[in-house]
Structure 1
Amino acid sequence: MTSRPIRIAPSILSADFGRLAEEVAAIDAAGADYIHVDIMDGHFVPNISFGPAVMASVRQVTQKPFDVHLMVAPVDPYIAAFAKAGADVITVHAEAGPHLHRTLQAIRAEGKNAGVAINPGTPVSAVEAVLDDIDLLLVMSVNPGFGGQAFIPGTLDKLRQARALVGNRPIEIEVDGGITADNARAVADAGATVFVAGSSVFGGNETQTYPHRIAAIRSAATTRTA
């Protein structure tokens, strides 16, 4: 198990878009460490979410880091816009283009932390050549494009492989998809340090439940069982 602190990153893809700013402010107050922003283009993944203008509008209600996950191809043309809109971390998919290293350079040139995401069918070895150019490795535990999917059990092996490959580098290992208080302990033991949670935080969209839901995931991830 890593000694890095556990961070919870609620995904606003599961928020009530009719009151998105209020939802972002609520998860900030509820104890979120990061705000996870899923950007979908209807091309690389089946759905469309929203663009940089919407993200910029909700950026104003919180000082928490914006963890922006670009499920977009081609991705390079949009990096500057999301950087300007308030991203702190910009994560791109290893599968989204032929020049991953160049894309990471573009993110760093904007002064942002750089992340790489890998889909369930992509081996961890796909990121080995760029490990010294990233701050975050996102291991998808569902196929991207839809919220509310079940965690893919084989992700635990991939997380262990990712932790071994990262070694002592100061890289966060993030997991995204189907994360709940029930599987958080196993996911943490496998090496994840950042937990993206959508429906397990936002389910029902009742803001008074968010502190308990975030705390439950954090507690499960950090409490060892007998």
Structure 2
Amino acid sequence: MTFHRVKIAPSILSCDFARLGAEIEAVTQAGADMIHIDVMDGHFVPNLTLGPDIIKAIRPYSSLPFDVHLMVSPADLLIDRFIEVGADILTIHPEANPHMHRTLQKIRYHRKKAGIALNPATPLDVLDYILEDVDLILVMTVNPGFGGQTFIPSQLEKIRAVREIIGMRSIELAVDGGISAETGAQARAAGATVLVAGTAIFKNPDYAQGIKSLRS
């Protein structure tokens, strides 16, 4: 296996919400590269999580990029609001946004990074004709909606296929779902450059050690 330095994005879906600001400070100091924020609407996915006001409240607790994963439908109506409160990367799902090209361009118009999320059953042809407008591709290795799920091994082939599609383009390849030291190593070997992890970090008493284990 050939490994490269991978970026680690702690998913705050698994943190202690009673200490949200302190948790973000802690993983920032522990060596995280970005903060992953899952936004769910109870419609596109069967769960309801954070909204713009929460992100605005936690923005002062870290200088790291805020990677906002919009599991909402439609996302277009909320993009301006999430940018206003401090999102640096906005990742959307093609199933939830019928005019993907327009949505990605809108994000980039605001000088933010645009991402596209691929669910386990999402075909790769959704990437046709939009690669030049994408900064990040997120391969979901669980079905979106809840933390703590088990990594789906069949998605390793998708990660490898996306790596081939990206080629020499400066597009990050992120993986989200069931990431541990073992599955993270498999995702890295398949070509991932960003690992999104919740349980593997926030359920470890030592956040720095949890992050280090994902890197090594």
Q: TM-score, normalised by structure 2?
A: 0.97
Are residues 203 and 43 of structure 1, via their aligned partners in 2, closer, same or farther at CA, if it must alter by over 3 Å? same
In structure 2, stretches of 5+ residues that fail to align are none
How far the C-alpha of 1:128 sits from its partner, in A, is: 2.2
Amino acid in structure 1 at the alignment position of 2:60:
Q
Equivalent-residue separation in structure 2 for 1:218 and 1:60 (angstroms): 26
Matched length? 216
- What secondary structure does 1:175 align onto? strand
- What secondary structure does 2:96 align onto? coil
How far the C-alpha of 1:109 sits from its partner, in A, is: 1.6
Alignment of 1:1-226 (within 5 A): 5-203=5-203, 206=205, 209-219=206-216
Equivalent-residue separation in structure 1 for 2:117 and 2:60 (angstroms): 26
In structure 1, stretches of 5+ residues that fail to align are 220-226
Q: TM-score, normalised by structure 1?
A: 0.93
Q: Is the 8 A contact 1:68 1:88 kept in 2?
A: yes
How far the C-alpha of 1:203 sits from its partner, in A, is: 1.5
Amino acid in structure 1 at the alignment position of 2:211:
I
RMSD in angstroms over aligned alpha carbons? 1.3
* Identity value in percent: 53
Runs ≥4 in structure 1, deviation > 2 angstroms? 1-5
How far the C-alpha of 1:2 sits from its partner, in A, is: 7.9
Aligned to 1:222: none
Q: Is the 8 A contact 2:120 2:155 kept in 1?
A: yes
Amino acid in structure 2 at the alignment position of 1:129:
Y
How far the C-alpha of 1:41 sits from its partner, in A, is: 0.4
